[in-house]
Amino acid sequence: MDHLLWFFAVATAVKLLLIPSYRSTDFEVHRNWLAITHSLPLSEWYFDETSQWTLDYPPFFAYFERFLSFFAHLVDPKIVDLRSGIDYTADSVIYFQRITVMVSDLSLLLGVHRLTRKVEPLKRKLICVLVVLSPGLLIVDHVHFQYNGFLLGWLLLSVSFLQDGRDVIGGFLFAVVLCFKHLFAVAAPVYFVYLLRHYCWTGLASGLRRVVGLGAVVVAVFAVAFGPFIYNGQIQQVISRMFPFGRGLCHAYWAPNFWVFYIILDKGLAFWLRKLGFDVQVPSASFTGGLVGDSSPFAVLPQITPLTTFAMVLLAITPCLIKAWRKPQPGLVARWIAYAYTCGFLFGWHVHEKASLHFTIPLAIVAVQSLEDAKHYFLVSIVSCYSLFPLLYERQEYPIKVLLLLLHSVVMWLGFAALYTNEKALKKKEKKESGEIKSKFEIGCVEKIYLMGLVLVEIVSQFLHPYFLGDRYAFMPLMLISTYCAVGIMYSWIWQLRRILT
Amino acid sequence: MPKKNPVILSGDGTADPIDTWWWLSHKGTTTSFLCISLFALLIRSAVSMFPYSGAGTPPKFGDFEAQRHWMEITTNLPAIDWYRNGTHNDLTYWGLDYPPLTAYQSYLHGILLRTFSPESVSLFSSRGHESYHGKLLMRWTVLSSDVLIFFPATLFFVLVYHRDRTRRANSEVAWHIAMILLNPCLILIDHGHFQYNCISLGLTLAAIAAVLCGSEVLTCVLFSLALSHKQMSAYFAPAFFSHLLGKCLRRKNPILSVLKLGIAVIVTFVVVWWPYLHSVDDFFMVLSRLAPFERGIYEDYVANFWCTTSILIKWKKLFTTPSLKSISLAATILASLPSMVQQILSPSNEGFLYSLLNSSMAFYLFSFQVHEKSILMPFLAATLLALKIPDHFNHLTYYALFSMFPLLCRDKLLLPYLTLHLLFTLIYHSPGTHITLPKTKTSSFSFTSFPGYVFLLRTHFFISLVLHVVYLNIQPPQKYPFLFEALIMILCFSYFVMFAIYTNYTQWNISSHFRSADKEKKQI
């Protein structure tokens, strides 16, 4: 445990120093939730509209905020004041909320500890560095402000129980995670198939008993979460808050996923068809602004509805489900879950760039399993971290995000190189005490060029574009980043798919 | 984002051949350096988000405004007017009082600021200028100075100092790099409080490395540059002087060698000071700016001899300023004399590092007009010896930081103070590290083995913890508004004295060790 604790402490020191950095509106969102849950009775939580940042996470997260608000009230009563607390930016609220994120990250520590306690020391250290000091988590949680580390900690804990073969606890924890943040539901099919096959498929009688048992556990979790709201007859309101399908296919900043290509294809087709003399209507709705009536944001290609995206995600996960059904191996669960989140990220509705954490963190556990996995992880974690850069658009944080990514890359490179070094060669060298140790960890040529391209993209979008074009085509840099990163994530998806199938 | 730390293998060789930090340091010193410097830069840029000294406190503001004002003066006036009181340059408002190299550096940074934010350095109208971009640009000038000067100097030093080590010691080297680059005092003063110590200290560090690799002319050039950037670099001058003199005296042509070095020093100074060498008046005008004797022998509450003893002896009332000048000069020379003599008699690389520490500590304790921030000088020297005297280095870090605690609290840097302290402690005690003091075999007697010493140290530590809490939470009595500052000062002073005695003693011990070793060899 000492290494893990040490890394966690170092990470905490970095997080403490990030306290005065830029905060997104998510900070005020969470402060408002503290105020809602503290000042209002439970029956009004999902109805309150005092602030525009209404509560839209599942009940466990609301309970969690209620728990935090108790301390917030002790620190400074104004934090939890529904009206006068709006846009409150005193030191008290900043320190309090930032520190709650750091403390809640303890669940991440617990998750990593449990997951890696039987892994050999070097691999354990690596996983620990990749997860606890993940640049993505630092950027999203400790600068931008969210509680992803806390939730991912529970997810990792759930995975660790599944790997131990303790399926009921694993399933229970996953249900808990779902009641914290429903976006984690993308992996539910994997859990469902895996648990059904691995835990319940033991013959008719005992199998049925197990299905009922497991089902009871899950239902109990959901009952605790949603029960009070069902009792108050508010479940529809809760659900409608949680799934705001009125939002567009893509977030204001396009997450680097499949739909980026779809949109660009549409634009390109419309452009060329117009050139060729066809009469192509300019769409009245923008694809980021949400669906307005029946109008489609696309000029040529068919409209995409939430149902389409849902079907596509499910279709993409299917190969993994089949694999899980045929041979439910506990050792592969982390890989399958990461794959499911990758699919959700690529094809989902209104995906945020932050959701890439859902697969980069579980993939870190997979990364130490083989040389190929390490190479893949090296690429995907850099791409997903880079795609988070536009979140921190203020200049003050510029060196911080760049340094976080560079440091992560260097550490990863050193760590993987050490992990996949030929031990015999090492021992020989030990005797001679000199010379370079050859490692098997080398990045392929195409990957190298692609990663170098990231530097180019950054230079173009951050320096050349503002210098030559100023404010014109302000959307170009962001589009460039998400398109370029989307290529990397698509590659990662195909790679993972092949890996699962073979 | 990890730092790497060292593991000293248990000497018998039975330990696991692959140490705990092997995975991060296996590619060699340069790669570990890259990794640690990225982390160190991350910490620096994070600290730079906190307030600077004098933020939002008109009319005088603080060191940040001083540096910005110098940029304003140097970019708008011709070089000859930089140090002269005039209609465009009011020397009473943060007049330039550092040597010309600082002025040139301000000029370069000023040009940079003018390009991106002209209003932040416009003459007169920019006084007290504070803006998001102004702060950011200023912070980035410090960051870039660090990257361009202090970091390469560190790499140079580490490569030279550890050149004889085997690959096994990689993590030990990495630990040493982390100790130098993550030095909390330097980070807090440069990137929190706001100064450019990284430049003069970086030049000094490079000069030290040049000594270790034997290129003496380079040493002279680099150290002269350091002196021309910040006159406080003179704290190290006795060590450089005596070490180089000691070496030259051992040559066939001592006079020729001394001449060669003298010429290197003079040429460097002439080049740097050229604009002010055209008339005697100009030269003395600059010189008088550099030595503000009218400010008195001490200011505020600095943990040196004069300030601490002034509680009992009112130096300022007993003596006039000129006589105090001579007294403090005599005391400083006297205090640095032992280490100088040792280096002249038997110059050695290790002895040189100790002598840097001892002479800078002597200056800190006894020279005229010392600031809290001047502890950076002896502290840098101690950092270089971190692997030799790890325990003492650890304690010194604690008290050096503590001596700046009131200053940093005024600057609203409490959180970075605590965090960097934590970070330092974590890295110092990184898992797998068993820093075992290489026992000085020479003497069975050791200063630190006095039973009273450990007790004293613990009492000190305990009192300092209490003082931290008291300082933050309790209003001092009205009659003594600076009571707690004075207590902190006394505590730190007494530790510094103990430390100085110990390091002087150790320095003399090395030479006797070498000499006895030589004798043994001869006998064999």
Stretch A388-404: mean pLDDT? 93
pLDDT at B17: 42
Give the distance from residue B465's alpha carbon to the nearest chain A alpha carbon, in angstroms: 20
Distance CA A29, CA A260 (A): 28
Q: State pLDDT tens for residues A79-117.
A: 999 989 899 999 999 999 999 999 999 999 999 999 998
A322 to chain B, any CB pair closer than 8 A? The answer is no
Contact by Cβ (8 Å): B364, B374: yes
Q: Does the residue A420 lie in any domain?
A: no
Candidates B226, B54, B229; CA nearest to B138 is B54
Give the distance from residue B168's alpha carbon to the nearest chain A alpha carbon, in angstroms: 8
Give the nearest partner residue to B38 out of A126, A410, A417, using CB atoms: A410
Distance CA A327, CA A337 (A): 15
Task: Flag whether pLDDT at A48 surpasses 70.
Answer: yes
Distance CA B405, CA B197 (A): 18
At B52, which helix (H) or strand (E)?
none
Q: Does the residue A285 lie in any domain?
A: no
Task: Flag whether pLDDT at A482 surpasses 50.
Answer: yes
Would the CB atoms of A129 and B431 count as touching at under 8 Å?
Answer: no
- Dihedral through CA A60, CA A63, CA A65, CA A66, nearest 10? 180
A404 to chain B, any CB pair closer than 8 A? The answer is yes
The total of structural domains in chain A comes to: 1
Distance CA B361, CA B336 (A): 8
Residues 109-138 of B with CB under 8 A from A: 132-133, 136
Going A430 to A431 to A435 to A440, the CA torsion angle's sign is negative
Contact by Cβ (8 Å): B280, B271: no
Distance CA B473, CA B461 (A): 19
Within 13 Å, how many C-alpha atoms sit on residue A498's CB side?
8
Higher pLDDT, A290 or A373: A373
- Show the tokens assigned to B182: 């993550």
Contact by Cβ (8 Å): B305, B480: no
* Strand partners for A421: A439
Indicate the residue type of B378: P
Distance CA A58, CA A62 (A): 7
Give the nearest partner residue to A433 out of B43, B46, B166, using CB atoms: B166
- Dihedral through CA B319, CA B321, CA B324, CA B325, nearest 10? -170
Distance CA B19, CA B8 (A): 8
Residues recorded for chain A: 502
Which chain A residues contact residue B138 at CB under 8 A? none
Which chain B residues contact residue A99 at CB under 8 A? none
Give the distance from residue A133's alpha carbon to the nearest chain B alpha carbon, in angstroms: 6
A116 to chain B, any CB pair closer than 8 A? The answer is no
Angle (nearest 5°) at CA B135 between B131 and B136: 115
Higher pLDDT, A422 or B329: B329
Stretch A160-182: mean pLDDT? 94
* Strand partners for A351: A250
Distance CA B256, CA B260 (A): 6
Indicate the residue type of B292: P
Q: Does the residue A279 lie in any domain?
A: no
Nearby residues of B93 by Cβ (< 8 Å), 6 or more positions away:
B60, B69, B127
- Show the tokens assigned to A227: 């029960």
Distance CA B40, CA B187 (A): 9
Distance CA B256, CA B380 (A): 32
Would the CB atoms of B42 and A403 count as touching at under 8 Å?
Answer: yes
Distance CA A119, CA A133 (A): 19
- Show the tokens assigned to B97: 């009082």
Q: State pLDDT tens for residues A244-263.
A: 777 777 777 778 989 889 88
* Strand partners for A250: A351
Distance CA B365, CA B494 (A): 11
* Strand partners for A439: A421
Nearby residues of B500 by Cβ (< 8 Å), 6 or more positions away:
B335, B358, B361, B362, B365
Distance CA B524, CA B301 (A): 56
Contact by Cβ (8 Å): A333, A161: no
Give the distance from residue B495's alpha carbon to the nearest chain A alpha carbon, in angstroms: 27
Q: Which domain holds residue A349?
A: 2-9+19-242+308-370
A407 to chain B, any CB pair closer than 8 A? The answer is yes
Q: Does the residue A497 lie in any domain?
A: no
Which residue positions in chain B have pLDDT lower than 70?
1-19, 167-168, 432-449, 511-524
Could you tell me the pLDDT band of residue A2, with boundaries at 50, 70 and 90?
A: confident
Would the CB atoms of B1 and A433 count as touching at under 8 Å?
Answer: no
A406 to chain B, any CB pair closer than 8 A? The answer is yes
Distance CA A382, CA A379 (A): 5
Would the CB atoms of B1 and A407 count as touching at under 8 Å?
Answer: yes
Indicate the residue type of A126: L
Give the nearest partner residue to B46 out of A14, A395, A436, using CB atoms: A14
Q: Does the residue A415 lie in any domain?
A: no
Give the nearest partner residue to A16 out of B38, B39, B419, using CB atoms: B419
A452 to chain B, any CB pair closer than 8 A? The answer is no
Task: Flag whether pLDDT at A276 surpasses 90.
Answer: no
Distance CA B507, CA B59 (A): 47
Distance CA B90, CA B83 (A): 10
Contact by Cβ (8 Å): A143, A400: yes
Pick among A21, A407, A436 to test the B interface (most B CBs inside 10 A): A407
A395 to chain B, any CB pair closer than 8 A? The answer is yes
Nearby residues of A369 by Cβ (< 8 Å), 6 or more positions away:
none
Q: Does the residue A416 lie in any domain?
A: no
Residues 49-78 of A with CB under 8 A from B: none
Distance CA A203, CA A210 (A): 10
Q: Does the residue A343 lie in any domain?
A: yes
Within 13 Å, how many C-alpha atoms sit on residue B399's CB side?
30
Distances in whole angstroms, Cα of residue A270 to Cα of each of A278, A296, A478, B178, B298: 9, 14, 21, 57, 77
User: Mean pLDDT of all residues in chain A?
Assistant: 89
Give the distance from residue B414's alpha carbon to the nearest chain A alpha carbon, in angstroms: 11
Phi, psi angle pair for A249, to nearest 5°: -60, -45
Give the nearest partner residue to A433 out of B50, B167, B418, using CB atoms: B167
pLDDT at A437: 59
CB atoms within 10 A of CB A278: 11
Which chain A residues contact residue B427 at CB under 8 A? 10
Pick among B42, B167, B177, B422 to test the A interface (most A CBs inside 10 A): B42
Give the distance from residue A195's alpha carbon to the nearest chain B alpha carbon, in angstroms: 37
Q: State pLDDT tens for residues A111-146.
A: 999 999 888 888 999 999 999 999 999 999 999 999
Q: What share of chain B is helix, strand, coil (3-state, %, to 5)?
A: 70, 0, 30
pLDDT at B322: 85
- Show the tokens assigned to B218: 């380079």
CA A156 to chain centre: 13
B13 to chain A, any CB pair closer than 8 A? The answer is no
Number of inter-chain CB pairs under 8 A, A vs B: 114
Burial A43-70 (b: 16+ CB within 10 A, else e): eebbebeebebbbbbbbbbbbbbbebbe
DSSP state of A183: G
Burial B399-413 (b: 16+ CB within 10 A, else e): bbbbbbbbbbeebbb
User: What is the residue-wise DSSP string for B259-287?
Assistant: HHHHHHHHHHHHHHHGGG-SSHHHHHHHH
A215 to chain B, any CB pair closer than 8 A? The answer is no
Stretch A60-70: mean pLDDT? 95
pLDDT at B244: 94
Would the CB atoms of B41 and A16 count as touching at under 8 Å?
Answer: no
pLDDT at B523: 55
Stretch A43-72: mean pLDDT? 92
pLDDT at B362: 95
Q: State pLDDT tens for residues A310-367.
A: 999 999 999 999 999 998 899 899 999 999 999 999 999 888 889 999 999 999 999 9
Stretch A370-386: mean pLDDT? 94
Give the distance from residue A374's alpha carbon to the nearest chain B alpha carbon, in angstroms: 15
Indicate the residue type of B226: A
Would the CB atoms of B167 and A434 count as touching at under 8 Å?
Answer: yes
Would the CB atoms of A410 and B422 count as touching at under 8 Å?
Answer: no
Q: Does the residue A29 lie in any domain?
A: yes
- Show the tokens assigned to A501: 């199938």
A132 to chain B, any CB pair closer than 8 A? The answer is no
CB atoms within 10 A of CB A289: 12
CB atoms within 10 A of CB B111: 13
3-state secondary structure of A421: strand
